[in-house]
């Protein structure tokens, strides 16, 4: 773990030159003065001792640039501390201060190690807490430190609730800041090797300087000699004179060269070009203010600012990510109008991670009709990067005893009070789902409602069975953590408590497609529009080698806005880590190859075709059967029936081999259906009927499907 800051770094480079800290200069002089009064032998011995101690102190300070943990041993400087003997981890405060200053590690033998919090990264504090909880559960960890360890993780999650206004730093003026950042990064990387090399190269000069100073200090009567003073004065004057003449000659040569007409013209053009680039760069915004009306681009510093430009949410129809190479700092975010022209271009690297998440959230909220490119959504949404295995090992390290055997009730709190149960949504075979409230420790006003998906782990079983349950939970969490798409449920957090795993998911307000079409089958137009959204989510998954394996109406939720969301990745698999041999999914939606435990991308296509059949008929198709929807609804088009037949072919190679091909045929069917609806709305039917009144009414209803009211003859 890196253990350093700017102050300690500056102090380290001071010791490169002087080998003693700044505060040690005065004690060293006082000690030297006392030793000279005691005679030459103590003076020389004391000098060597001081040099040895100074070098040892310098080397220890080099080693203290890092805190190393390996095989249960903590290395800090010259110290090697056995963490198995660690008794407690607490925090220390300055007088009259609220924020902790240091971490206090107390060992059983009474030794206390102090680590300053300001010199540790947040990720390293999180790692240290998880390491102690996992490997050394006997050690007591202060709850304040746990809260500090979670602050970095909690803040970007808790701020998902949108406030009235958000101010996002926009680092468009990155020339100076990146230069300084690069310098500091280089300086930091040299914090161990650099000073050592510099000291070794300069050690002859340092030894000569210190030995001369020691000699002069020992024989201070020589300082009274006028000859030495005169020689020093002459040498200084000669050096200054030489420097002055060199600078004067250089300036004269540059002036003569610049006086030439061609050089002057070229210099003027270059100067004007650089000036124009500088003005354009300085006129870039450095602050984005997002409110309910749109995005405001501001320029200024602190309280002095002026608005350069504003765009409304209604103007943004599409948001895309333009990648020129593999360097995110050079990526562009393009906000486009309906006709496809670029409304505004943002530098991806100029927005901080939280700023990208804030922009994404507000685009979703204030511009629901805006289409966000999957690549952009994936790079703007925050991801969880916690260690799963450590949490599970912690949950299994205690005795096999549950604190609560029943489903959780309203008001129950989890994860140290971070989540509070509001109501139980449903109970399944492996656990329950709860509507919960996330209690923000950052700001009480930022609390939001989420869904907790519970997985109950078996206890009184063989270790292999319990491990398998944990691996399934890990698998779903890892899969969701890698996905960021508008049509896929978002993973917010995850944790293990009381032998139960919890996935914290975004709250989707709507109903699943099984409920939506159970009593009232959908029209052809509605079904095709939903099918195109299904294509988006499946194409995104298959591009990332993910097979859902349970693509059914139960796992597709239709929001009130009309957006379709895919949930439940409990049995999803990747090509790299597939679970060959397992049969999962609802039988009516499982193709033959999946029954054999060998699913492929086309298996999801089969399940999608079965889902479309359900939406149009209101009931599940026959298992292991090619679905023919026109046998139940003759008025449906042959195009849609052909699509469903091809999707549900029993042989995988006879189905659509790419989602792009399926989308293309669905789009053609949608155009044809829109054309039919348009013609029906604009045309009239002229019917002339003669004959018996009762027969005409009966025949008209049977042959045309129209109930006519017939009067007279």
Place of tokens 């500090």: 148
Contacts of 403 (CB under 8 A, 6+ apart): 498
Q: From CA 232, how far away is CA 244, in angstroms rounded? A: 19
More confident residue, 191 or 421: 421
Q: From CA 310, how far away is CA 331, in angstroms rounded? A: 22
CA distances (Å), origin 472, targets 430, 467, 468, 501, 575: 11, 9, 6, 10, 16
- The region of weakest confidence among 505-509, 510-514, 687-691, 696-700 is 696-700
Backbone angles phi, psi at 438, to 5 degrees: -90, 115
Residue 356, pLDDT > 60, answer yes
Q: What secondary structure, in 3-state letters, does 305-360 show?
A: EEEEEEEEHHHCCEEEEECCCCCHHHCEEEEECCCCCEEEEEEHHHECHHHHHHHH
Residue 160, pLDDT > 50, answer no
Residue 564, pLDDT > 80, answer yes
Rounded mean pLDDT of 203-215? 64
- Model pLDDT, residue 444: 52
Q: Are residues 650 and 547 in the same domain?
A: yes
Q: From CA 272, how far away is CA 278, in angstroms rounded? A: 10
Q: Are residues 641 and 541 in the same domain?
A: yes
Rounded mean pLDDT of 671-679? 77
CATH number of the CATH domain containing 408: 3.30.200.20
Rounded mean pLDDT of 671-677? 81
Contact 402, 169 (CB under 8 A): no
Contact 151, 273 (CB under 8 A): no
Print the domain residue range for 245: 225-279
| pLDDT tens readout for residues 243-258 | 788 878 888 888 888 7
The answer to whether position 159 is within a domain reads no
- Model pLDDT, residue 575: 52
Q: Are residues 376 and 233 in the same domain?
A: no
Backbone angles phi, psi at 666, to 5 degrees: -65, -40
Structure tokens at 675: 């054309």
| pLDDT tens readout for residues 504-553 | 998 888 899 999 998 889 999 999 999 999 999 999 999 888 899 899 99
- Model pLDDT, residue 188: 59
Q: Coil, strand or helix: which one is 510? A: strand
- Model pLDDT, residue 429: 63
Dihedral sign for Cα atoms in the order 633, 637, 638, 639:
negative
Out of 132-141, 454-463, 578-587, give the one with best mean pLDDT: 132-141
Q: From CA 440, how far away is CA 437, in angstroms rounded? A: 9
In the chain, what is the greatest distance between 2 CA atoms, to the nearest angstrom?
A: 144
Classify residue 291 by its DSSP letter.
Answer: E
- Model pLDDT, residue 703: 47
Structure tokens at 336: 């486009």
More confident residue, 192 or 39: 39
Out of 100-114, 243-257, 322-336, 642-656, give the one with best mean pLDDT: 642-656
- Model pLDDT, residue 618: 92
pLDDT band for 702, please (50, 70, 90 cuts): very low
More confident residue, 637 or 692: 637
Could you list the beta-strand ranges (E) of 538-580.
546-547, 556-559, 564-566, 573-574
Contact 655, 607 (CB under 8 A): no
Dihedral sign for Cα atoms in the order 439, 441, 447, 450:
negative
More confident residue, 15 or 146: 15
Q: Are residues 609 and 634 in the same domain?
A: yes
Tell which residue, 105, 172, 119, 103, has the closest CA to residue 6.
119
- Model pLDDT, residue 185: 63
- The DSSP bridge partners found for residue 80 are 75
Do you know the residue count of the chain? 713
Q: Are residues 343 and 421 in the same domain?
A: no
CATH number of the CATH domain containing 336: 2.30.29
Residue 234, pLDDT > 50, answer yes
Q: Are residues 416 and 486 in the same domain?
A: yes
Could you list the beta-strand ranges (E) of 522-631.
546-547, 556-559, 564-566, 573-574
Rounded mean pLDDT of 556-564? 90
- The DSSP bridge partners found for residue 105 are 89, 113
Rounded mean pLDDT of 478-486? 82
Residue ending a domain, among 380, 413, 438, is 380
- Model pLDDT, residue 121: 81
- Model pLDDT, residue 662: 95
Contacts of 455 (CB under 8 A, 6+ apart): 430, 431, 469, 472, 473, 500, 501, 502, 503
The answer to whether position 365 is within a domain reads yes
Out of 49-53, 137-141, 401-405, 589-593, give the one with best mean pLDDT: 589-593
- Model pLDDT, residue 442: 44
Contacts of 318 (CB under 8 A, 6+ apart): 335, 336, 338, 340, 370, 371, 372, 373
The answer to whether position 486 is within a domain reads yes
Q: Are residues 544 and 669 in the same domain?
A: yes
Q: Are residues 205 and 229 in the same domain?
A: no
Residue ending a domain, among 471, 505, 539, is 505
Contact 528, 629 (CB under 8 A): no
Report, in angstroms and rounded to the nearest whole number, the Rg of the chain calculated over CA atoms. Answer: 37
Residue ending a domain, among 505, 525, 560, is 505
Number of structural domains in the chain: 6
The answer to whether position 103 is within a domain reads no
- The region of weakest confidence among 70-79, 184-193, 592-601, 703-712 is 703-712
Rounded mean pLDDT of 14-34? 78
Q: From CA 404, how far away is CA 668, in angstroms rounded? A: 55
The answer to whether position 659 is within a domain reads yes
Q: From CA 266, how far away is CA 258, in angstroms rounded? A: 10
Q: Are residues 194 and 261 in the same domain?
A: no
Rounded mean pLDDT of 94-99? 70
Residue 483, pLDDT > 60, answer yes
pTM here is 0.55
More confident residue, 208 or 366: 366
Rounded mean pLDDT of 59-63? 85
CA atoms within 13 A on the CB side of 77: 11
CATH number of the CATH domain containing 671: 1.10.510.10
| pLDDT tens readout for residues 310-327 | 999 999 999 999 987 777
| pLDDT tens readout for residues 601-646 | 999 999 999 999 999 999 999 999 999 999 999 999 999 999 999 9
Q: Are residues 209 and 257 in the same domain?
A: no
| pLDDT tens readout for residues 260-312 | 888 888 888 888 888 887 777 667 788 888 988 899 988 876 667 788 889 99
- Model pLDDT, residue 219: 58
pLDDT band for 156, please (50, 70, 90 cuts): very low
- Model pLDDT, residue 555: 92
Q: Are residues 533 and 644 in the same domain?
A: yes
- The region of weakest confidence among 146-150, 194-198, 257-261, 708-712 is 708-712
| pLDDT tens readout for residues 434-474 | 999 887 554 455 567 889 999 888 776 666 777 777 778 87
The answer to whether position 109 is within a domain reads no
- Model pLDDT, residue 537: 93
Q: Are residues 562 and 707 in the same domain?
A: no
- The region of weakest confidence among 101-110, 431-440, 453-462, 650-659 is 453-462
The answer to whether position 43 is within a domain reads yes
- Model pLDDT, residue 154: 38
- Mean pLDDT of the residues in the chain: 79
Backbone angles phi, psi at 167, to 5 degrees: -105, 120
The answer to whether position 76 is within a domain reads no
């Amino acid at each position: 773990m890196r253990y350093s800051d700017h102050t300690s770094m500056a102090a380290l480079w001071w010791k490169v030159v002087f080998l003693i800290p700044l505060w040690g200069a005065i004690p060293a002089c006082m000690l030297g003065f006392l030793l000279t009064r005691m005679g030459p032998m103590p003076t020389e011995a004391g000098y060597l001792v001081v040099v040895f101690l100074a070098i040892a102190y310098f080397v220890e300070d080099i080693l203290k640039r890092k805190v190393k943990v390996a095989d249960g041993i903590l290395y800090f400087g010259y110290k090697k501390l056995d963490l198995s003997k660690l008794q407690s981890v607490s925090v220390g405060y300055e007088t009259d201060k609220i924020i902790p200053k240091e971490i206090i590690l107390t060992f059983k033998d009474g030794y206390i190690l102090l680590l300053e919090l300001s010199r540790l990264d947040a990720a390293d504090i999180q790692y240290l807490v998880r390491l102690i909880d996992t490997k050394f559960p006997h050690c007591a960890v202060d709850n304040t430190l746990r809260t500090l360890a979670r602050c970095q993780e909690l803040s970007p999650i808790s701020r998902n609730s949108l406030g009235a206004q958000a101010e996002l730093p926009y680092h468009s003026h990155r020339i100076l800041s990146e230069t300084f950042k690069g310098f500091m990064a280089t300086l930091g990387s040299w914090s161990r090797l650099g000073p050592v090399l510099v000291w070794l190269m300069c050690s002859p000069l340092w030894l000569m300087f210190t030995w001369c100073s020691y000699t002069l200090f020992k024989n201070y009567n020589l300082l009274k000699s006028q000859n030495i003073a005169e020689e020093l004065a002459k040498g200084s004057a000669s050096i200054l004179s030489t420097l002055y003449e060199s600078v004067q000659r250089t300036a004269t040569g540059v002036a003569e060269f610049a006086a030439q007409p061609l050089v002057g013209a070229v210099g003027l053009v270059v100067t004007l070009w650089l000036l124009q680039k500088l003005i354009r760069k300085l006129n870039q915004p450095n602050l984005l203010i997002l409110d309910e009306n749109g995005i405001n681009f501001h320029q200024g510093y602190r309280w002095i600012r002026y608005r350069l430009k504003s765009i409304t949410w209604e103007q943004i129809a599409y948001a895309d990510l333009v990648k020129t190479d593999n360097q995110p700092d050079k990526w562009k975010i393009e906000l486009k109008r309906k006709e496809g022209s670029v409304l505004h271009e943002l530098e991806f690297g100029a927005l901080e991670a939280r700023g990208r998440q804030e922009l994404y959230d507000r685009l979703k909220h204030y511009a629901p009709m805006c289409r966000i490119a999957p690549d952009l959504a994936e790079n703007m949404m925050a991801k969880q990067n916690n260690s799963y295995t450590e949490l599970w090992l912690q949950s299994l390290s205690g005795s096999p005893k549950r604190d609560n055997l029943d489903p959780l009730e309203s008001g129950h709190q989890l994860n140290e009070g971070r989540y509070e149960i509001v109501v139980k949504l449903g109970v399944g075979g492996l656990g329950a789902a709860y509507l919960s409230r996330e209690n923000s420790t950052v700001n009480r006003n930022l609390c939001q409602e989420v869904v907790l998906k519970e997985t109950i782990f078996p206890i009184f079983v063989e270790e292999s069975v319990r491990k398998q349950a944990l691996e399934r939970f890990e698998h779903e969490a890892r899969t969701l953590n890698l996905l960021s798409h508008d049509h896929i449920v978002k993973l917010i957090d995850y944790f293990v408590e009381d032998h139960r795993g919890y996935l914290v998911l975004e709250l989707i307000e709507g109903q699943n497609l099984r409920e939506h079409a159970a009593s009232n089958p959908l029209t052809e137009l509605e079904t095709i529009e939903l099918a195109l959204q299904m294509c988006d989510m499946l194409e995104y998954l298959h591009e990332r080698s993910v097979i859902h394996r349970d693509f059914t109406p139960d796992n597709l939720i239709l929001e009130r806005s009309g957006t379709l969301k895919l949930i439940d990745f409990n049995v999803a698999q990747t090509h790299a880590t597939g679970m060959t041999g397992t049969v999962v999914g609802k039988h009516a939606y499982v193709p033959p190859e999946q029954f054999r435990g060998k699913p492929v991308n086309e298996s999801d296509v089969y399940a999608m075709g079965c889902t479309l059949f359900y939406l149009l008929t209101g009931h599940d198709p026959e298992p292991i059967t090619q679905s023919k929807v026109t046998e139940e609804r003759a008025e449906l088009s042959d195009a849609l029936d052909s699509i469903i037949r091809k999707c549900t072919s029993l042989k995988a190679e006879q189905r659509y081999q790419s989602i792009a091909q399926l989308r293309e045929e669905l789009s053609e069917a949608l155009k044809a259906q829109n054309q039919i609806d348009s013609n029906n709305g604009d045309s009239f039917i002229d019917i002339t009927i003669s004959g018996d009144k009762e027969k005409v009414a009966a025949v008209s209803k049977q042959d045309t499907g129209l109930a006519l009211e017939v009067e007279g003859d």
